[in-house]
């Protein structure tokens, strides 16, 4: 089962449902944000009730699983490989070594719900960045009450050259059009036996061939999902829940950078997969800001 935000052909706007092997079934919540305002026990009851209902008829497209006031945040330097990579690229390498071992984690805002892309949509690299990489991560989907509701696969696309020039440039290295991709469904927490033992895989294809491939496991995480969630909620409110990406253990070497047209796939065992093609600059992402409904309707016209 996956909790999904979907659009049925002929409908005016997105709806919320559960996706099973034979299709999507409507769930009794107006938005994902409204669902994440509820306690976990209530969310589970609604999902299981929906799973017993009829399949939504007709053509259905799955959308990014966030909406409304839900925010996407991310953690950094939570894997040894991430610490090593940040130290390789930075002129102030010691700060990454310190944050890896410190009590307080690095947390940063990644994107508002309307800026998140999903499977089959483009991801972006900045035109003013020389070194760009995907960062495959397990994302925690958390409700208003700081309970982990489920998981998604996240690609935290980043500029290594901009962050490496100065850590104060982190927002520019991390927050820009097309920089956040989420798999198009939320795998419920009650269906994942151990989030600390999930295989993560990254594949980058270029001109029809594999240009880079890597693997990691959430068992290598320096900090637990519960610890990261507690810090996120320590001094902030999330009335429609939040998504918290937990950092990456897979980073290509310094001589590798994404290029326009690369096909990037992030896959996490038991959770999901998100595949995107790389675009460059702001131009390809004008559709993200549309508020007339065409932002979602394009899933039918573009496929």
Residue 105: C-alpha distances to residues 76, 77, 86, 222 (Å):
7, 8, 15, 10
What pLDDT, on the 0 to 100 scale, is given for residue 139?
98
Whether pLDDT at 302 is above 90 = no
Mean pLDDT of 175-187: 98
Strand order in the sheet with 272-280: 123-125, 272-280, 263-268, 199-206, 209-217
**144, 201: one domain:** yes
Q: pLDDT averaged over the chain?
A: 92
**235, 117: one domain:** yes
What pLDDT, on the 0 to 100 scale, is given for residue 296?
82
What pLDDT, on the 0 to 100 scale, is given for residue 250?
92
What pLDDT, on the 0 to 100 scale, is given for residue 255?
93
Q: Which of 246, 183, 208 is nearest to 4 (CA)?
A: 183
Tell me: the pLDDT tens digits for 84-138?
A: 555 554 555 566 767 777 888 999 999 999 999 999 999 999 999 999 999 999 9
**203, 258: one domain:** yes
Whether pLDDT at 293 is above 90 = no
Tell me: the pLDDT tens digits for 182-224?
A: 999 999 999 999 999 999 999 999 999 999 999 999 999 999 9
| Total structural domains within the chain | 2
What pLDDT, on the 0 to 100 scale, is given for residue 190?
98
**241, 170: one domain:** yes
Mean pLDDT of 140-169: 96
**92, 51: one domain:** no
**32, 112: one domain:** no
**7, 122: one domain:** no
295 falls in which pLDDT band (50, 70, 90)?
Answer: confident
What pLDDT, on the 0 to 100 scale, is given for residue 103?
86
**84, 212: one domain:** yes
Tell me: the pLDDT tens digits for 13-30?
A: 999 999 999 999 999 999
Q: Which of 117, 110, 157 is nearest to 133 (CA)?
A: 157
What pLDDT, on the 0 to 100 scale, is given for residue 182?
98
**276, 232: one domain:** yes
**177, 241: one domain:** yes
pTM of structure: 0.94
Please, what's the b/e burial string for 198-228 (b: 16 or more CB within 10 A of its CB; e: otherwise)? Answer: bebbbbbbeeeeebbebebebeebbbebeeb
Show the domain range for 122: 71-285
**34, 105: one domain:** no
What pLDDT, on the 0 to 100 scale, is given for residue 229?
98
| Residue 296 belongs to a domain | no
| Residue 130 belongs to a domain | yes
What pLDDT, on the 0 to 100 scale, is given for residue 88?
58
């Amino acid at each position: 089962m996956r909790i999904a935000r979907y659009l049925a052909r002929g409908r005016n706007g997105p709806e919320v449902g559960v996706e099973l092997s034979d299709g999507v079934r409507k769930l009794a919540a107006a938005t994902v944000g409204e669902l994440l305002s509820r306690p976990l026990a209530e969310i589970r009851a609604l999902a299981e009730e929906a799973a017993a209902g009829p399949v939504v008829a007709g053509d259905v497209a799955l959308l990014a699983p966030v909406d409304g006031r839900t925010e996407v945040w991310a953690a950094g330097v939570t894997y040894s490989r991430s610490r090593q990579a940040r130290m390789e690229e930075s002129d102030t390498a010691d700060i990454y070594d310190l944050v890896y071992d410190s009590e307080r984690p690095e947390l940063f805002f990644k994107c508002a719900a309307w800026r998140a892309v999903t499977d089959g949509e483009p991801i972006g690299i900045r035109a003013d960045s020389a070194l760009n990489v995907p960062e495959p991560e397990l994302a925690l989907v958390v409700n208003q009450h700081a309970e982990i509701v489920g998981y998604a696969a996240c690609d935290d696309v980043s500029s290594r050259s901009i962050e490496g020039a100065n850590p104060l440039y982190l927002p520019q290295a991390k927050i820009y059009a097309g920089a956040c991709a989420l798999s198009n469904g939320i795998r419920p927490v009650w269906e994942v036996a151990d989030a600390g033992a999930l295989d993560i895989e990254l594949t980058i294809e270029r001109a029809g061939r594999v240009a880079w491939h890597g693997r990691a496991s959430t068992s290598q995480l320096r900090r637990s999902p519960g610890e990261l969630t507690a810090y996120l909620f320590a001094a902030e409110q999330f009335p429609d829940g939040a998504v918290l990406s937990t950092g990456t253990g897979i980073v290509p070497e310094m001589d590798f950078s994404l290029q326009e047209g690369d096909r990037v796939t992030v896959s996490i065992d038991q959770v999901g997969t998100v595949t995107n093609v790389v675009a460059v600059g702001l131009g390809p992402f004008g559709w993200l800001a549309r508020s007339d409904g065409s932002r979602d309707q394009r899933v039918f016209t573009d496929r």
